[in-house]
Amino acid sequence: MKHRHLLALPMLVAALAAQAQDRTADPLGPLAQCINRSQFQFKTQDRLPASATTRIVKMKAEERRVSTADGYRLMLFRKSSLPFVNLKIERSAAGQFASDRETIVAQMQEMSAGSKPPHQVPLETDARDGVEVLGLNQASIAQAQGIISLYTLLHAASGTVATAYLLNQPADPRDFVTDAQYQTLRTQLIATLASCMADPAQ
């Protein structure tokens, strides 16, 4: 019996290696550079390891998984020395975007439904340039100690998912002080992300 397990080990290693992502190409590189040409720029690019082919999405009743054929984590800055956005851009595995989208949308719907008055957070939806935009926003920056807004942008044509955590900045120097200033920057950020996802070469 032990010999059978030993024989199975090389097969398991080979299977895991086959699942690892091909890094001869960089499909999300142009998208990252497009974002970096805007007023929102990153200092480093943290790429997903080749072995990270899925990530966990936590739901109330269960944990689901979405595919991650490739991905980057980018901390976006503007004028402040403090980050404004924790951004994750991911490419779904071939043929998996529809199911990944279903899981992500369900999680955001659940998060909205779980919010309670007076801090209820409705799920806002929009679409631009073939990019689906889902947003959860705190009513005021005063209510947010860390994350003010959570946005997911989905581009079916390329199988790309962007998840943006917009962060409060408690100390000077800040990029925004009032709700109006924050909302202006938020609008500009989402427009930048949607535009770059639709056409990274611009």
* β partners of residue 77: 41
| Euclidean distance between the first and the last CA atom of the chain, given in angstroms as a whole number | 59
Cα separation of 196 and 147, whole Å?
23
Q: Mean pLDDT across the stretch 50-73?
A: 95
Q: Examine the pLDDT at 157 and tell me if it is beyond 70.
A: yes
Residue 12 clears pLDDT 50, i.e. is over it: no
What is the reported pLDDT for 21? 52
Section 182-197 average pLDDT? 98
Q: pLDDT band for position 171 (50/70/90)?
A: confident
Average pLDDT estimate for 103-115: 96
Taking the C-alpha atoms of residue 56 and residue 163, their distance in angstroms, rounded to an integer, is: 14
Higher pLDDT, 118 or 126: 126
Query: What are the residues whose beta carbons fall under 8 Å from the beta carbon of 118, sequence distance 6 or more?
Result: none
Rounded to a whole number of angstroms, the CA Rg of the chain reads: 19
Q: Exposed/middle/buried for 84, CB within 10 Å: 0-12, 13-18, 19+?
A: buried
**Cα gap 128→134, rounded to integer Å:** 11
What one-letter code names the amino acid at 102?
E
Task: Tokens 């951004």: give the residue.
Answer: 87
Asked if 45 contacts 74 with a C-beta cutoff of 8 angstroms, the reply is yes
Confidence category of residue 173, pLDDT binned at 50, 70, 90: confident
pLDDT of 79 > 80? The answer is yes
Q: Are 193 and 185 in contact (CB under 8 A)?
A: no
Per-residue confidence at 170, pLDDT binned at 50, 70, 90? Answer: confident
Q: Which residues, listed in sequence order, are joined to residue 181 by a DSSP beta bridge?
A: none
Q: Which residues of 90-102 are buried (b: 16+ CB within 10 A; e: fewer)?
A: bbbbeebbeebbe
Q: What is the pTM of this model?
A: 0.87
Angstrom CA distances, 200 to 17, 29, 123, stand at: 30, 9, 27
**According to the model, what pLDDT value does residue 17 have?**
42
- Average pLDDT score over residue span 18-26: 63
